[in-house]
Amino acid sequence: MKLTFAGAAGTVTGSMHQLEVDGKRYLLDCGMFQGRRKEAEQRNRWFPFPAPSIDAVVLSHAHIDHSGRLPLLTKNGFRGPIYATSATVDLCNAMLLDTAHILESDADFVNRRHPGEEVAEPLYSKLDAEETMPLFQPVRYRIPVNIGNSLVMESYDAGHVLGSASVVLTDGKTRLAYSGDVGRPGLPIIRDPEALPPVDYLIMESTYGGRKHPQENEAVGKLESVMKDTIGRGGRLIVPAFAVGRTQQLVLLLHHLMNENRLPSVPIFVDSPLAVNVTEVFRAHPECFDTETYTYLQNGEDPFGFKRLTYIRDARESKQLNDIQGPFIVISPSGMCETGRVLHHLRHNVGNPKNTVLLTGYQAENTLGRKLKDGMKNVRIFGIPMEVRAVVESLDELSGHADSGELLDWMRPMTPTLKRVFLVHGEPVSSRPLAEAIHARYGIEAVVAEPGQVYEI
């Protein structure tokens, strides 16, 4: 086996790792880079290999930093199978089309704003996304699948988001595990991460490798406190949230607060066609739910719907939220404040000290979300300078990524035969401490992967 790290090496986004076995090439994920727009676009357009040379893709989950360049791969000539769980396939059907729509709309906006200049071309089109979907091959957890010559893959529930998987790949001689993104025990909706069997090598994420999360059971109390403080000021609560996973978790927590009569009497909106479509996918896959969420169904309740909650698809209805008098809560993608309707809500509300922006997930370097989290008081939204006067809070208790201790515990069952760990999907400030912790606890070499590095295993 030969490994080449082509993305999410030394950074968090753009997940992509190439595996060569018996003359065939496989990609582990094919995600988009996020961050400074011009820099990210340049990185996203370039593949370090010819797309037709890839024989198959193994997709860990549907988040765009893991799946977002699949249509570009297809556009450039890839025609092989894409292996993913059925829930991931359904989520990608919604997310890749939505991403293509955003890319086309952004290119159109630039061309209208700068007529006569070089024509902006979207990274890929909706047609490219549509042509990608028939390539998906659904797989089930814990069912081995032969994906080429002697290579067999087996998926395990990663507990990160609906349908997420960690995979073990073997050619009969070497066993390689790829973590994808590892979730946390006790997260709402989905089951806890599964243990993987002993392997020879492990590619593992390290997003929060140098940190420890607050306890997840504190999330409800923190959400309640932020809501009450904001509403007490007469303000609006703007919640940027990933359409997949985080939006549904927040809705479930709000449902819980309402059932316990702890929810302030204000309107709540989920403003995103994508989030609405994704929530329908969640409803279609109860087999992925944990016991607590499944209990809602057994009691005849919709875990993702309740009184005072309104889902918004139509752009006109979204704009009308700005005319509402008094406090309200709006949850809207994207989680890193880079695209989508949340930018409009931020533009209208970030300058009012009564309002709160509640960040609910990881904020990659150079994103608007990271700038807000770092306390920057002057930012640009749609290229327009804005003064940040709203309160900015973070709900880290809902992080979908395991922290340092949780990653060390998760990898323990693999360690009896483990020779080396490759750390990806993390900034160096997180990856390096985790590498040291792995060696200290297990005596196993851990390498912080860098872009373009090649390893024979």
pLDDT per residue as tens digits for the range 292-309: 899 988 889 899 998 889
Third-level CATH fold of 2-211+400-456: Metallo-beta-lactamase; Chain A (3.60.15)
The rounded Cα 261 to chain-centroid distance in angstroms is 31
Residue 332 near residue 211 (C-beta atoms within 8 A): no
Q: Is the pLDDT of residue 217 over 80?
A: no
**Domain 216-398: CATH architecture, name and number where available:** 3-Layer(aba) Sandwich (3.40)
Mean pLDDT is lowest, of 36-40, 64-68, 333-337, 416-420, for 36-40
Q: Is the pLDDT of residue 145 over 90?
A: yes
Q: What percent of the chain has pLDDT over 70?
A: 100
For residue 65, what pLDDT is reported?
Answer: 94
Specify the 3-state DSSP secondary structure of 221.
helix
Q: Long-range contacts for 49-53 (Cβ within 8 Å, ≥24 apart)?
A: 49/6, 49/18, 49/25, 50/76, 50/77, 51/76, 51/77, 51/78, 52/76, 52/77, 52/78, 52/79, 53/25
Q: What pTM was computed for the model?
A: 0.90
For residue 114, what pLDDT is reported?
Answer: 75
Residues with Cβ within 8 Å of 263's Cβ and at least 6 positions away in sequence, in order, are 224, 227, 254, 257, 308
- Give the torsion through C-alpha atoms of 445, 448, 453, 457, to 10 deg: 30
For residue 186, what pLDDT is reported?
Answer: 86
Q: What is the 3-state secondary structure (H, E, C) of 111-149?
A: HHHCCCCCCCCCCCCHHHHHHHHHHEEEECECCCEEEEC
Q: What rounded mean pLDDT belongs to the chain?
A: 93
Q: Is the pLDDT of residue 106 over 70?
A: yes
Mean pLDDT is lowest, of 157-166, 285-294, 361-370, for 361-370
Position 216 confidence tier, pLDDT thresholds 50, 70, 90? low
Please choose, from the candidates 328, 352, 331, the residue with its C-alpha nearest in 3D space to the C-alpha of residue 341. Answer: 331
Q: Is the pLDDT of residue 118 over 80?
A: no
Return the percent helix, strand and coil in the chain, to nearest 5. Answer: 35, 25, 40
For residue 17, what pLDDT is reported?
Answer: 98
Q: How far is CA 346 from CA 102, 309, 374, 391, in A?
A: 18, 20, 16, 12
Q: Is the pLDDT of residue 445 over 90?
A: yes
Name the amino acid, one letter, at 87.
A
Alpha helices in 23-122 (DSSP H): 37-45, 64-67, 70-75, 86-113
Alpha helices in 205-263 (DSSP H): 219-232, 246-259
CA–CA dist 394, 226 (Å, integer): 10
Please choose, from the candidates 374, 369, 404, the residue with its C-alpha nearest in 3D space to the C-alpha of residue 208. Answer: 404
Position 92 confidence tier, pLDDT thresholds 50, 70, 90? very high
Q: Is the pLDDT of residue 189 over 90?
A: yes
Instruction: Let me know if the fold of 2-211+400-456 is the same as that of 216-398.
Output: no
Name the amino acid, one letter, at 341.
R
Tens of pLDDT, residues 317-362? 999 998 999 999 999 988 899 888 999 999 999 999 999 999 998 8
Burial of 326 (C-beta count, 10 Å sphere; 0-12/13-18/19+): exposed
- Sketch the domain layout of the chain as residue ranges: 2-211+400-456, 216-398
For residue 30, what pLDDT is reported?
Answer: 98
For residue 365, what pLDDT is reported?
Answer: 84
Residues with Cβ within 8 Å of 86's Cβ and at least 6 positions away in sequence, in order, are 138, 140, 163, 285
**pLDDT, mean of residues 265-290:** 94
User: Cβ–Cβ contacts within 10 Å for residue 343, how many?
Assistant: 17
CA–CA dist 243, 255 (Å, integer): 17
Instruction: Return the higher-pLDDT residue of 192 and 107.
Output: 192
Instruction: Return the higher-pLDDT residue of 37 and 128.
Output: 128
Q: Is the pLDDT of residue 18 over 90?
A: yes
Looking up tokens 């997940």 gives: 15
**pLDDT, mean of residues 411-421:** 98
Residues with Cβ within 8 Å of 342's Cβ and at least 6 positions away in sequence, in order, are 238, 240, 271, 332, 333, 334
Residue 186 near residue 11 (C-beta atoms within 8 A): no
CA–CA dist 93, 350 (Å, integer): 33
For residue 270, what pLDDT is reported?
Answer: 96
Looking up tokens 């082509």 gives: 6
Looking up tokens 């989920």 gives: 270
Instruction: For the chain, give the longest Cα–Cα distance.
Output: 66
